[in-house]
Structure 1
Amino acid sequence: MNPLDRLADLFAGEGSAEYLGEAVTQAQHMLQAGALAEEAGAPAHLVAAALLHDVGHFHGAVTGRDLMEGGHDNRHSHTGADWLGRFFGPEVTEPVRLHVAAKRYLCTVEPGYFALLSEASVHTLRVQGGPMSPEQARAFAAHPGARDAVAVRRWDERAKDPDRPTPGFEHFRPLLEGLLKPDHASA
């Protein structure tokens, strides 16, 4: 199956489920994150990363959400990035891989960031290891992908508005098509 068709099916199927206690579905959340990145004028790879950042929560794609809801880290950022890596390059997958670390980082280095987190995001922060230590934060800041991951994280946090008009998955298909690895791009 074409990877974009597979993603479209995930957004339409599992994506219609509630999203870890948020007021939006999982698909709405991810679509809003992509739309926020697009509105900010982000490059295509960051729009894609924002759109796909939580694909690791889908059961059919990777490990699903049950562990997270039960208080165990499902490492959705890593498993999602690994799964997406079959189809997209590191410019898309690394911000996905690092978006949880970016939340932990921002909680350490940015006064007031923690107060922006939803109740569900505070819960997952605890499950994911809590705020970084100062040493961990310095190491994260030195990572070449830190800046992109922080950008995705900021869109992630804002993408939880049940009243926000949000484009559907098909809106992003041409952008994603242009980012597919050559062996997955359509002729």
Structure 2
Amino acid sequence: MNPIDQLAALFDGPGAEDYLGEAVTQAEHMRQAGALAEAAGAPDELVAAALLHDVGHFHGALSGHDLMAGTDNRHGDSGAAWLAQWFGPAVTEPVRLHVAAKRYLCAVDPGYQARLSPASVHTLGVQGGPMTEDEAREFEGNPHHAEAVALRRWDDEAKDPEAKTPGFDHFRPLLTRLLENR
């Protein structure tokens, strides 16, 4: 199966399940994030990262259900590692860093944590809580930190059960253009 069809199968299969305490499915959440990035005029690589940011819930030793049960599934890392077989760092690094970006924003943006959904507040605690000042400075030194923060903000907004969101096929041409290892 080609990579795009593998991704589509994730959206149609495990992605069709509930999104860990949110009012949308996991696939709806990821498609909403991709659509928000696209509407913001983000580069193709960042649109793809927003669309694919949570695939690690399906590709790792631990699932998203483990995360909700209190064990960090490190889904940013596992998702980025899996996606790296097809996409470059401009896609995979924001995916890898999107959890760190949540921790970062909680540390540097007064009021950010209060805007998180209850499920996201729960996972924040499992994922290490807000960053320390030293961790925040180190995060800011990462060349992909700004993209990860942008992705994180779309991630937080992408939980609207009323949103009209394009299907996965809308993103196929963009993903196909970005494939590095066909």
Question: 5+ residue gaps in structure 2?
Answer: none
Match of residue 40 from structure 2: 40
- Give 3-state SS (helix, strand or coil) of 1:131's partner: coil
Identical residues among aligned pairs (%)? 66
C-alpha deviation, 1:67, in angstroms = 1.5
In the alignment of these two chains, the number of paired residues is 181
Quote how far apart the aligned CAs of 1:142 are.
1.3
Give the match for residue 115 of structure 2: 116
What is residue 69 of structure 2 aligned with on the other side?
70
**Is the 8 Å Cα contact of residues 20 and 65 (structure 2) preserved in structure 1?**
no
Q: Match for residue 173 of structure 2?
A: 174
User: What TM-score, normalized to structure 2?
Assistant: 0.98
Out of 93-102 and 135-144, give the one that drifted further. Answer: 135-144
Structure 1 residue 69, shift from structure 2 partner = 1.9
Name stretches of at least 5 consecutive residues in structure 1 with no aligned partner.
none
In structure 1, give the amino acid aligned to 2:27.
Answer: A
Normalising by the residue count of structure 1, what TM-score does the alignment of the two structures yield? 0.95
CA distance in 2, matches of 1:69, 1:103: 16
Paired residue secondary structure (1:77): helix
- Structure 1 CA distance, aligned partners of 2:135 and 2:107? 9
Amino acid at match of 2:47: V
Q: Does the residue aligned with 2:36 lie in a helix, a strand or coil? A: helix
Pairwise CA RMSD: 0.7
> Deviations along 1:117-172, whole A, 9 cap, x unmatched?
00000001000000000110011011111000000000000000000000000000
Distance in 2, matches of 1:12 and 1:53, equals: 16
For residues 36-185 of structure 1, the aligned pairs below 5 Å read 36-58=36-58, 61-63=59-61, 64-181=63-180, 183-184=181-182
Do the aligned residues in 1 keep the contact of 2:104 with 2:131 (CA within 8 Å)? yes
